[in-house]
Structure 1
């Protein structure tokens, strides 16, 4: 009988058939079937510490401790655990890492070794291979559905749960996979993936996300996004939309599904030109003047047929914007040799814009409702600057989906933290920076945090988090 021998590399767990080699990394091998596999996520090999890494007796403490406490109190650890990943310590540490460090995931292990997170979550395995396994696992469709079911329980019942803002942003990248495609968005051409976010109006929290290839135009994603929300149990009643989303077909679908909306009418449409020609002359009168956010705007509401549908149009002129644009016009008019007629005609359009909605909104309220849309720009800013979303450093669709999940969770937490800190006047970045300056000393059975300075005490008071004198590490 001929037998074949093969080297499997280093034995990590003989009973479980887990090995490690340079070619395959950490893997399982079934001697009877000859099949290779992936170890369970809960398996943490001995010696995951980096080569030549010394055990640290002083760790960064404040940022990881306070953030961990805050996330638990906000209910987001329970929501994150619904992803069902086999090693919760790894998942939680990666969420902390996405918020605290805008760096490559290859540096996550080094961060973990120098942070209190290594004491709080000692079973975390942040080697590059296991991080890739984590991203692939949480990016799975089943895991995402379980996550959103739990997340909607947390935020779906809050005020404004059925009123949403929908918009998209580009994620430029040079990754060679089908999602990256040439996009021409508002005249800007790039290789990217389009990321669609839905934000809850009442809480300003990110509610849901989708991604589509970069060459898919926004207008084709709107109805599918609303339909997917409904499939998850969120029945959209009112949406504030970017002007680029609304075509004649989308408008008809919104009316058929009884989804009320508010949007801006694009200037290149015939409806815009006709409404402006008919109503601009009668706009500037006392009964049309409203005040919004220390600005004065003329707003006239009329019934109108827009793209074949009955709607309410709001012809507006922002006086502050008109003055700014007029000043710029007058500065260049002489240099460009403009006639007085040309100057007059150019001034007619200054500060003018038109909003429209499917249901009547009071003229004194319509601007406040529409500019709620700025909330989603703030969310995108959080995503791109506070959650490690960009630059994209993944190499497959599976890990890309998982990366978006972690970035979404991080964006929710950062937005919650931003709202909690609002009254203090302290930004999230400044708070986490000051907290990160607090250290702790690690002993065999106890962690001793250093005394908090005044800035840290102010943050703790705002967040209502108690700073410990000591933390026992004895199980």
Structure 2
């Protein structure tokens, strides 16, 4: 039988060494919370400091007199509007629970505190965190200095067990049969100590070495699941195998994996079919299979019955084919020998779409790409990617003319004209049967992962890693990942609030409808950072005197109270 709850309060000391060499001594009061089954810090007080080279504790100076004489007062003022929203988000999304179940108590509180700081300040740098803590209550009640978060990042980077536990916990909360987007972005760095920083395709086009960040994202749940980092020179097309292995670790029921053209290859499709992994991927119209399908369905796409019901600029049609895959065995098993040819047939579904809006975009992109390749060839660039070299061989004609043998580069007009026949078309291929426009909708949902990458770089200080070592970078990226989980949950809830505002209801009065429409207009005109700034001005002042404790909070207008009520931060609201 468990021991009976005693309600005893424990008082202990903790010592935190700062970068200056001074060690601060805190008196910490804790008790056991029966509801959460965790040890909770109820009070923390600085009682002294130990100077460098000394072992003696120098007591802190007594508080200045406030002029009240015998009637002493203790007053505390805190910004609570923003922190209440972040506390609600961590509790409602179960992010706090998953972090605390994956890491030790102290590390979990630090992770949540830094994640909330990044989100609440729209990605401010960490040296400002300690001063921000003075007026904002966070799960970690002690000061988070540069030494504290530096040690945290290093320990997290080596704690792969805790990171994978958190990924598993978040994956277990997804809806049934989720659609999983898989994509990558690049993080530029000046550091020479980051071993993964290599010269590769830089999506920011700033000329720096990059580290590749790969992310799994549930597009219907609008929530990131997991991430990994790789050297910046690894092509996307060979990075899919590890993602499939990682997905197999999660207890997800028949996920549909959606990818972009960067991950398409015949080998990747074959491997996903062999593993019975459902996929939906965009393939380039330069691929022979795609062009053959476009030619088969070209006339059908011109009919009115092919018009998309939710996007009239797009028409679509589907075609299913039995495709034969062949490969060579890598290992010997039973009667089969290594090197033997294996054959497998699988049904593939091709969804072909024609968009009138894409014709001009494809034309401009095609011209820009060829003109850039022509310039590079003329300048004598010797090394190209495999894809770029194929375009050069197909669309450019190189010759040596004149006595000096000068290089002359022209365009293969016949091949260029053949390529233009497919401008405005795009093709999705899948091994899962679905309606043509359901496939289009699932693919378009993956655009949310691009928003995630943008938010990671702009809103959680992820554009430039300022760390010396790779393990510390992984730890920092994990805390950024937790901050993105917060952001996705809050954004999703605010979107749900917007959708229910201004709709006629049986019990809604004219005043309520007017208030809701005003709130909807206000939300549509503000970003998440602006909403956070708005509520950060809400303060609570608490004054404890001999006569008792008095507490008051900044007044708020009816619109703000309605928003907090509908969001779920407060239980009741009065107009």
TM range (shorter): 0.7 to 0.9
RMSD over equivalenced CA pairs, Å: 3.9
Q: Deviations over 1:213-263 (max 9, x none)?
A: 111221222121121221243465321111111222211110110011111
5+ unaligned residues in a row in structure 2: which ranges? 1-11, 25-40, 50-59, 65-73, 327-345, 367-413, 499-519
User: Which residues in structure 2 correspond to 1:108-119 (within 5 Å)?
Assistant: 108-115=129-136, 117=137
Match of 2:28 in 1: none
Cα distance change on mapping 1:220 and 1:93 into 2, 3 Å:
same
Q: Deviations over 1:67-105 (max 9, x none)?
A: 112311322211121232342543332121121121111
Match of 1:460 in 2: 564
| Residue pair 2:264, 2:282 contacting (<8 A) in 1 also | no
Match of 1:164 in 2: 180
Q: Please give the alpha-carbon distance, in whole angstroms, between the structure 1 residues aligned to 2:111 and 2:433.
A: 46
Of 151, 156, 159, the residue aligned with 1:133 is: 151
Match of 2:196 in 1: 179
Q: Deviations over 1:319-346 (max 9, x none)?
A: 34447879999xxxxxxxxxxx999978
TM (norm. structure 2) is 0.65
Q: CA deviation at 1:127?
A: 1.1
Q: Please give the alpha-carbon distance, in whole angstroms, between the structure 1 residues aligned to 2:142 and 2:276.
A: 47
User: Which residues in structure 2 correspond to 1:64-103 (within 5 Å)?
Assistant: 64-87=83-106, 88-101=108-121, 102-103=123-124
1:434 aligns with 2:534: yes
Q: Please give the alpha-carbon distance, in whole angstroms, between the structure 2 residues aligned to 1:198 and 1:228.
A: 9
Match of 2:479 in 1: 406
Match of 1:36 in 2: none
User: Which residues in structure 2 correspond to 1:274-423 (within 5 Å)?
Assistant: 274-303=292-321, 305=323, 310-322=347-359, 348-422=421-495, 423=497
Q: Please give the alpha-carbon distance, in whole angstroms, between the structure 1 residues aligned to 2:168 and 2:103.
A: 13
Match of 2:80 in 1: 61
5+ unaligned residues in a row in structure 1: which ranges? 1-14, 28-41, 330-340, 470-475
Cα distance change on mapping 1:247 and 1:44 into 2, 3 Å:
farther
TM (norm. structure 1) is 0.77
Of 192, 196, 199, the residue aligned with 2:214 is: 196
Cα distance change on mapping 1:366 and 1:440 into 2, 3 Å:
same
- Aligned residue pair count: 424
- State which drifts further: 319-328 or 63-72: 319-328
Q: Please give the alpha-carbon distance, in whole angstroms, between the structure 2 residues aligned to 1:46 and 1:90.
A: 22
Q: Please give the alpha-carbon distance, in whole angstroms, between the structure 1 residues aligned to 2:416 and 2:160.
A: 58
| Residue pair 2:190, 2:208 contacting (<8 A) in 1 also | no
Match of 2:399 in 1: none
Q: Please give the alpha-carbon distance, in whole angstroms, between the structure 1 residues aligned to 2:314 and 2:200.
A: 37
Match of 2:245 in 1: 227
Q: Deviations over 1:140-183 (max 9, x none)?
A: 11221232233334x14x2334x311111111111221121112
Q: Please give the alpha-carbon distance, in whole angstroms, between the structure 2 residues aligned to 1:361 and 1:126.
A: 51
Q: Please give the alpha-carbon distance, in whole angstroms, between the structure 2 residues aligned to 1:306 and 1:462.
A: 54
User: Which residues in structure 2 correspond to 1:141-156 (within 5 Å)?
Assistant: 141-153=160-172, 155-156=173-174
Match of 1:449 in 2: 553
